[in-house]
Structure 1
Amino acid sequence: MKNLHRTSIIYTLLAVLTLGSCSKNFLAIDPETTANSDNFYKNQEEVEQAVNGAYNILQDLGRLHLWLYGEMRSDNTTFQYNNQDRGLETREFIDQFLVDASAEPIRQFWQLSYQGITRTNDVLARLDEVEMTDEKRAQYRGEVLFLRAFHYFNLVRQYGGVPLRLAPVESPDSALSKGRAPVEEVYNQIVSDLSSAADNLSNATISSAEKGRVTEGAARTLLAKVYLTLKKYDEAIDQLRKVSTMGYSLVTNYADNFSPEKKNGAESIFEIQYLGSQPSLSSNFMYQFAPYTSGSVVTQDPNTNLGGSAGWNIPTQDMIDAYEEGDKRKASSLAEGFTNSSGTFVAVPYVKKYNFGFVEPGQTDVNFPVLRYADVLLMLAECLNEKGFAANGEAFNLVNNIRERAGLKPLEARDINGQDRFREAVFQERRVELAFENHRWYDLLRTGKAVEIMNAHGAREKDGSLTIPTNAYQVTNNRLLLPIPQREINLDNLEQNPQ
């Protein structure tokens, strides 16, 4: 039986590449097919198909896992309790810090991430064997190094130390990992991958039809975020300064960052691409984030029934109250309820940021932002303050550029009169500026605020509730990490996180 399990993991980890032909848009790929990697990679076109297959994993992660663990696990959002459909109860357990190692979403997140890593490793291992220009080879190398680093950055922040797989699985013996690498080693690999990605992408030329591919700016921005997480402020500042010279800028209208008609705009550094006209490539955030009791009022789609798949990522009252009076971002980001077909207002809030209609019933064309220039400005302001508070200095200007767009008065040193006060001001600004973009949980972790804030959040959620278990939201340092999927514990002999 043990050998059967080991054989099973080989197929799971090696799972074939998702390949698609490139047309007028790099997202417009053909239906998934299987191919033997030994007889693939014969020319540049096939390499590009393999690289596109590595991007494809992001769509699956973006539809659920990135917001489930990056947003709904935080104090920004929760869920609408559905007493009629209990089929997705494990998502509730993730929100409530009650999830166990056998939960399907825990296993899926791990497997999808490693499937993405496997695809990048396959490309990297064979890239030098294929005839193409040096510029194109460097571009593809940079893209997949970014993607591998992106997956490992998510994994290490959610699970702690994880197995480092940096080469294709070529045999049954190589299917088993060397165990969980120390957190420091994982971060060293992430930094190495992103540094190399930035260098390889420095001369890449991306056509308008290929907008949405990884760029040098994306690699340096993610690298800066890694350095900020590690509290290496000088290194983060260096990367952020470079990004600030690359032509990015804040768009005038905040909501334009999320409109499908203005994808990959001046403020966008990297976003997960979706194509609403094809079911396998479309997004559906509008449906998942709508209250399940809202019928077609929120989605305006009478042909798509809402059930257990809706009512997720619901803004908390604390999130609603976090916006200052007059903040233009609030109306673009959330609604505090909806008026049902009977004309009655129902006070169940929902994320509105991704509501731009549908292309086909159940299918939307909305991308999901991963990195925006506003994030660059806020990270730079935070790093500068950590290096030393400067009253009404550059860090103030950076934050105030964002506040001005939001219609808010600027921060001034007479009110924010020290490093601690400015640190809190940036923390607050990040919450409302980047709301529902999957940054909040990671900001709580890296600032050391997660236990305190999440226990307070849990107390508010449980107050008067009859549906939340009494042992929910009992957050400790151990529970900040997700459990390693039980299947991986059994098959790969990994050590479990203490819970």
Structure 2
Amino acid sequence: MLNNIKTKVVCMALLGLSLSACEDKLNIEPRGSISPEAVTPSDTEVLLNGVYDGFQGGASSYHYLSFLTDDLSADNLAYRATFFQHGEVDDNSISANNLLTQYFWQGLYKGIYRANFFLQTVDKLDESTFSRPARKDEVMAEARYLRAYGYYSLVTRWGGVPILREPTTEKVARNSEQEVWDFIIEDLKFAVENAGDFRDASYVSKSAAKALLARVYLATKNYAEAEKLAEEVIANEKFRLSDDYDNIFTNKSNAERIFHLNSTANDGTSMPYFLIANVELPSTGKNTNGGRFELPIDNSLAAAFEDGDKRKATTLQPIVFGGVDYFMAYKYRLSADGSNAWTVSRLAEMYLISAEARAEQNNLIGALERLNDVREKRGLLPTVAVTQDGLRLKIEQERRVELAVEGHRWYDLIRTGRAIEVLPNVTSENQLKYPIPQAEITVNELLTQNPGY
């Protein structure tokens, strides 16, 4: 599977740089690298930066796909330009030879490899030699959260995938989808128990672990636990719904952010580069710092906002590009160089998870309360629903406009059984999973292809 990863040394540079610098130079220990046997507790913070970097984008130059394919597979983003592989994702007709989804798969497993290497190395260290004994479990918890996040990205696109608990280049067969979910829950439970308290959205905390675990429980229909964890995060005084929706995406310290993958221009995340055009915005009269604008907003998302919903201006902007009218994704406009932070979890999602979990437990009054908490904060009138099905649709709609281009819509429609009904290009259950990359099957005969490919 990870046939090109044969690292024999810990090669995460002192600023948390990529493993790729040493992957092909097995006989040379790069300057600034550390052999596993020489790692001390004082090294672990630097090494942990390398694990974060793997999921921010350092493990793959095409890691932006892990952020954008969800909205592109659904009806929030569209395909405009030159990469036909983007078009396959948009059309829900992905080839097993699609290079971009292949890089997406490989990038996630490289990040998981880093997490496993870190966990294996740090597990051998004596906790009493850390700055404080609890710090060992805290850094282990951060790495296990990131590993769980990687597997969440995999299972929601491909279904059952190989579970790797340690760094290995051995050929491994696929686990069942349920086994992957169980593994994610195992890692996140450890993170909930052992991660540190919230200090900054750029670092994994107990609250970040609770937030992702609440999402996982919602996906696996454990509604009582999803509600419980979401409510615990809501009750944390360090977080609050923002009075200014735009500020959530222009201010990395906004109190609505629970955890984000923070990036600099050097990380090469590239995600905004494919969203932003270099044009003058009619709304501001100023030029954006744009990229190649491969992926405009789908017109159906633009039409989904209610009149007067201020979130629309933050989510998208009408532009003219090449003489054609488009809507441009605008949440990640700080720069096309990749320095935006990708929000993994924020507080509004916790309100909507609680609303949905309550609705599924037939607590319609409680569900409406949490749904309307979000709407009222966004300047909208409260909504009403008299049936469970009606409330489900209202929550689905609110999730779409509140969390647009944040990596939720595709799997939201799958887990609620609505993808075939809502998405015109999806006519078969087989399309609800991506094909296992053919390049991976070629080098690992234990891998089986998803049905329909």
Q: Where on the TM-score scale, by shorter chain, does this alignment land: which range?
A: 0.7 to 0.9
CA drift of 1:322 comes to 0.6
Question: 1:482: which partner in 2?
Answer: 434
CA drift of 1:429 comes to 0.4
Q: 1:29, 1:56 → 2: CA distance?
A: 6
Question: 1:321: which partner in 2?
Answer: 303
8 Å Cα contact 1:297-1:339 kept in structure 2: no
Match of 1:183 among 177, 186, 192: 177
Match of 2:287 among 269, 285, 300: 300
CA drift of 1:241 comes to 2.4
Question: 1:347: which partner in 2?
Answer: 325
Specify whether residues 157 and 30 from structure 1 end up closer, same or farther in structure 2 by C-alpha distance, changes over 3 A only: closer
Task: Give the TM-score, by structure 1 length.
Answer: 0.80
Query: For residues 119-155 of structure 1, what are the alpha-carbon distances to aligned partners after superposition, in whole Å with 9 as ceiling and x for unaligned?
Result: 1111111213223132210111110110111111111
Residue 79 in structure 1 maps to residue 76 in structure 2: no
Indicate the SS of the match to 2:258: strand
Specify whether residues 295 and 257 from structure 1 end up closer, same or farther in structure 2 by C-alpha distance, changes over 3 A only: closer
Q: 1:481, 1:192 → 2: CA distance?
A: 24
8 Å Cα contact 1:374-1:402 kept in structure 2: yes
Residue 452 in structure 1 maps to residue 421 in structure 2: yes
Query: For residues 222-257 of structure 1, what are the alpha-carbon distances to aligned partners after superposition, in whole Å with 9 as ceiling and x for unaligned?
Result: 111111101111121222222222221101100111
Question: 2:256: which partner in 1?
Answer: 267
Match of 1:408 among 355, 373, 380: 380
CA drift of 1:405 comes to 2.1
Q: 1:401, 1:206 → 2: CA distance?
A: 23
Indicate the SS of the match to 2:162: coil
Unaligned runs of 5+ residues in structure 2 are 23-28
Question: 1:54: which partner in 2?
Answer: 51
| Amino acid paired to 1:43 | T
| Amino acid paired to 1:105 | L
Question: 1:287: which partner in 2?
Answer: 273
Specify whether residues 400 and 184 from structure 1 end up closer, same or farther in structure 2 by C-alpha distance, changes over 3 A only: same
Query: For residues 52-83 of structure 1, what are the alpha-carbon distances to aligned partners after superposition, in whole Å with 9 as ceiling and x for unaligned?
Result: 11111222278521233211110111122x3x
Question: Which of 263-272 and 363-372 deviates more?
Answer: 363-372
CA drift of 1:310 comes to 2.2
Residue 382 in structure 1 maps to residue 356 in structure 2: yes
Q: 1:223, 1:206 → 2: CA distance?
A: 16
Q: 1:271, 1:400 → 2: CA distance?
A: 25
Question: 1:196: which partner in 2?
Answer: 190
Query: For residues 408-452 of structure 1, what are the alpha-carbon distances to aligned partners after superposition, in whole Å with 9 as ceiling and x for unaligned?
Result: 11113xxx1111111111110000000111110110111011112
Question: 1:460: which partner in 2?
Answer: none
Specify whether residues 350 and 17 from structure 1 end up closer, same or farther in structure 2 by C-alpha distance, changes over 3 A only: farther
CA drift of 1:17 comes to 4.9
Question: 1:496: which partner in 2?
Answer: 449
**What is the RMSD computed on CA atoms of the aligned residues?**
2.5
Alignment of 1:453-472 (within 5 A): 453-455=422-424
Specify whether residues 59 and 100 from structure 1 end up closer, same or farther in structure 2 by C-alpha distance, changes over 3 A only: same
CA drift of 1:41 comes to 5.1
8 Å Cα contact 1:20-1:30 kept in structure 2: yes
Indicate the SS of the match to 2:287: coil
CA drift of 1:44 comes to 1.9
Q: 1:13, 1:106 → 2: CA distance?
A: 22
Question: 1:469: which partner in 2?
Answer: none
8 Å Cα contact 1:369-1:437 kept in structure 2: yes
Specify whether residues 41 and 300 from structure 1 end up closer, same or farther in structure 2 by C-alpha distance, changes over 3 A only: farther
Residue 226 in structure 1 maps to residue 216 in structure 2: yes
CA drift of 1:175 comes to 1.3
Unaligned runs of 5+ residues in structure 1 are 1-5, 22-27, 456-472
The structure having more radius of gyration, on CA atoms, is 1
8 Å Cα contact 1:337-1:348 kept in structure 2: yes
Q: 1:163, 1:128 → 2: CA distance?
A: 22
Indicate the SS of the match to 1:77: coil
Question: 1:250: which partner in 2?
Answer: 241
8 Å Cα contact 1:13-1:114 kept in structure 2: no
Q: 1:231, 1:94 → 2: CA distance?
A: 27
CA drift of 1:191 comes to 0.6
Q: 2:257, 2:36 → 1: CA distance?
A: 37
Task: Give the TM-score, by structure 2 length.
Answer: 0.88
Query: For residues 203-237 of structure 1, what are the alpha-carbon distances to aligned partners after superposition, in whole Å with 9 as ceiling and x for unaligned?
Result: x25656xx511011111111111111011111212
Indicate the SS of the match to 1:315: coil
Q: 1:489, 1:20 → 2: CA distance?
A: 32
Match of 1:334 among 316, 323, 330: 316
8 Å Cα contact 2:261-2:344 kept in structure 1: yes
| Amino acid paired to 2:97 | S
Specify whether residues 325 and 295 from structure 1 end up closer, same or farther in structure 2 by C-alpha distance, changes over 3 A only: closer
Specify whether residues 422 and 199 from structure 1 end up closer, same or farther in structure 2 by C-alpha distance, changes over 3 A only: same
Alignment of 1:202-221 (within 5 A): 204=196, 211-221=201-211
Q: 1:311, 1:190 → 2: CA distance?
A: 33
Indicate the SS of the match to 2:114: helix
Query: For residues 366-421 of structure 1, what are the alpha-carbon distances to aligned partners after superposition, in whole Å with 9 as ceiling and x for unaligned?
Result: 2111111000000001101110143xx22222111211122211113xxx111111
8 Å Cα contact 1:237-1:380 kept in structure 2: yes
Specify whether residues 30 and 195 from structure 1 end up closer, same or farther in structure 2 by C-alpha distance, changes over 3 A only: closer
Question: 1:3: which partner in 2?
Answer: none
| Amino acid paired to 2:51 | A
8 Å Cα contact 2:16-2:48 kept in structure 1: no
Percent of residue pairs identical: 29
Q: 1:300, 1:439 → 2: CA distance?
A: 29
Match of 2:86 among 81, 84, 91: 91
